Every structure is written in C-alpha cells, then in structure tokens.
Amino acid sequence: MLKKVFSFLLQCLLIILLTVFTQIGGIIWVITWLEANIFCYKIKKKSYSKYFTVKLALFLAFYLFATFGIVPLAAEKYSNRVALPILTENNIQPTTIWTCILNRHYVRPELKNALFNIGQNLEKKYPNSKVSYLDANFPFYNGFPLLPHLSHNDGKKIDLSFFYLDKETQQPTNEKPSFSGYGIYEKAKKGEYNQPEICLKQSWYYEIGKYTKVWSNEDDYTFDAERTRYLMTLIVKEKSIRKFFLEPHLKNRLKVGSSKWRFHGCRASRHDDHVHIQL
C-alpha cells in the first residue's frame, strides 16, 4: 500500500515538473500512463522494469511527435504564437536545441518577423554571424510563466545571446560560452556603474542564470563588443520592439542610447549574460 502511495506521489511530482519545464510534458505523461496501464497490463504483471521501459519509450515518442508535429500547428491556430526556427532560417537560430525540445521557442508572429529583420540585417554586415535566441515563451496560454523568467508569459518576449570571440585566435565565432546560453556574465569593469553588486545584496535570484548554465567553457571565449553593439543597434531600430533589458554598465559601454531601454529591477535576473527584448 505504502509503495503504491509513494509511486503515485512520484508520478504527480513528475507531472508537475514536466509541466513547469515544458508545458505539454505533464499532460503527455498522463496520457502515456493511462495508455500503458490499459495496453501493457500483461507486461506490467510479468516485469515492472520492462513495463517502465515501454512506458518511457512511449512517452518520448509521443512527446517528440507532439513537440515537433502537433504543437507548432496548434499554437499558431489557437494561441497566435509561432515556433522559431530549429535550424538556421533568416539568420536566426537557437543557442541550444534544448530550447526547442522543451517548447520554449514560441513567440507572436510580429516578434518572429522582427527577429527575421534583425537576422537579415545583421547578415548584411557580418555574413557569417547568426543571431542566437534563448528562452522565448511556451506555446499556449497567456499568463503561463516560463520559469525562471516570470515575464515570458504572453508570446511577446525573448532573450538573445551576446556575441563572442575565440579567445585564442580573437576571431568572431557563433559559439557561446555556456551550454544553456545563460550565466556567463560580462561584468562591470573598474569605474563602470555596478548595478549587479547592488542588486545581489538584495536578492540571490539576481544571479539565477549561473545555476542554469549546466556547463560552460568561458575561458575559451571573450565578449565581442563590436558585434553585440551592432545587434543592439538593430534591436533599437526595429519598430515593433518596444523595450529591452540590458545591465546599465553594458548599455553605457556599448553606447546604446535609446528610450526603449528599461532597467529590469533587482527582482529579475541580471542582464549582462544576454539581452531581453519584447514587443
């Protein structure tokens, strides 16, 4: 009896986690669970480990089919959100494929068009440089937050990666120093206004990005101020982009003078590892 209760609670926890991190994963696990209980009853009686393997395989197959086959169509039809390219298109690409696998790459059509404009314009000046996107929004429901970004809940927001140079050759690269794309901070230099130092005294959450980087090779790269500055220029020029968040020391260093700039506040995460833009 106790084993059954424990197993049920574990399933509930898994459903919550899958929903929090992928939005659709929880419901797909429930469907798989019900299906497996009905159709794999005999396997379950014979061997639980075999039953669990079958259930996991069913879940993965159904999840991937839904993620890449069903959800993009449903999101466009019912939620006015479109999927961003998984591979490079119009010079836009994900920093990591996991953003797409976890369904975190949905935006309003206007934002997709704005990104395509930015990507195409960047390519004119830097032909081999790609605009790499990070977390955007989930496919469905306004108000459903994409943790840890509380404001990414309406299809209007997206984070973009900075550009980097290969530290050894000092050549531009499209690679990024952290696996998730977050958590490698271009910190304030001596004499620059240091907002992160102030905010970190108020909240540990300001540095949540460093706990999500998974792994990093930051010693191999340096910040590419030239291309990042040009990316910021294109963001500012894009009419449909109404706001962006960037740490004050980078805004000043890159000379990004624009009324679209906002300080995100100390309750958000710091913005010297990426730039946040929104409609």
Minimum distance of Zn ion from residue 166's CB (angstroms): 27
- Distance CA(243)–CA(256), nearest Å, equals 13
Minimum distance of Zn ion from residue 236's CB (angstroms): 17
Minimum distance of Zn ion from residue 274's CB (angstroms): 7
Phi/psi at 231 (5° precision):
-60, -45
CB atoms within 10 A of CB 276: 22
Minimum distance of Zn ion from residue 102's CB (angstroms): 16
Residue in the shown chain whose Cβ atom is closest to Zn ion: 276
Minimum distance of Zn ion from residue 3's CB (angstroms): 43
- Distance CA(198)–CA(221), nearest Å, equals 27
- Distance CA(151)–CA(191), nearest Å, equals 32
**Between 72 and 209, whose beta carbon lies closer to Zn ion?**
209
- Give the torsion sign (CA, 264, 191, 234, 158): negative
Minimum distance of Zn ion from residue 182's CB (angstroms): 10
Minimum distance of Zn ion from residue 232's CB (angstroms): 15
- Give the torsion sign (CA, 98, 100, 103, 106): positive
Q: Does residue 270 bind Zn ion (CB under 5 A)?
A: no
Q: Does residue 276 bind Zn ion (CB under 5 A)?
A: yes
Q: Which of residues 25-44 bind Zn ion (CB under 5 A)?
A: none
Residue 132's SS3 state is strand
**Between 28 and 100, whose beta carbon lies closer to Zn ion?**
100
Residue 77's SS3 state is helix
Q: Which stretch binds Zn ion (CB under 5 A): 116-124, 202-210, 257-265, 268-276?
A: 268-276
**Between 165 and 254, whose beta carbon lies closer to Zn ion?**
254
**Between 55 and 176, whose beta carbon lies closer to Zn ion?**
176
Q: Is 99 exposed, middle or buried (0-12, 13-18, 19+ CB in 10 A)?
A: buried
Residue partners of 38: CB distance under 8 A and separation at least 6: none
Q: Which stretch binds Zn ion (CB under 5 A): 19-27, 97-105, 143-151, 197-205?
A: 143-151
Residues 162, 273 contacting (CB under 8 angstroms):
yes
**Between 66 and 250, whose beta carbon lies closer to Zn ion?**
250
**Between 63 and 206, whose beta carbon lies closer to Zn ion?**
206
Q: Which of residues 158-217 bind Zn ion (CB under 5 A)?
A: 159
**Between 156 and 276, whose beta carbon lies closer to Zn ion?**
276
**Between 81 and 276, whose beta carbon lies closer to Zn ion?**
276
Residue 141's SS3 state is coil
Q: Which of residues 69-108 bind Zn ion (CB under 5 A)?
A: none
Q: Which stretch binds Zn ion (CB under 5 A): 13-21, 62-70, 121-129, 148-156?
A: 148-156
Residues near Zn ion (CB under 5 A), total: 3
- Distance CA(175)–CA(162), nearest Å, equals 10
Q: Does residue 154 bind Zn ion (CB under 5 A)?
A: no
Q: Is 243 exposed, middle or buried (0-12, 13-18, 19+ CB in 10 A)?
A: middle
Instruction: Give contact residues for Zn ion (rule: CB under 5 A).
Output: 149, 159, 276
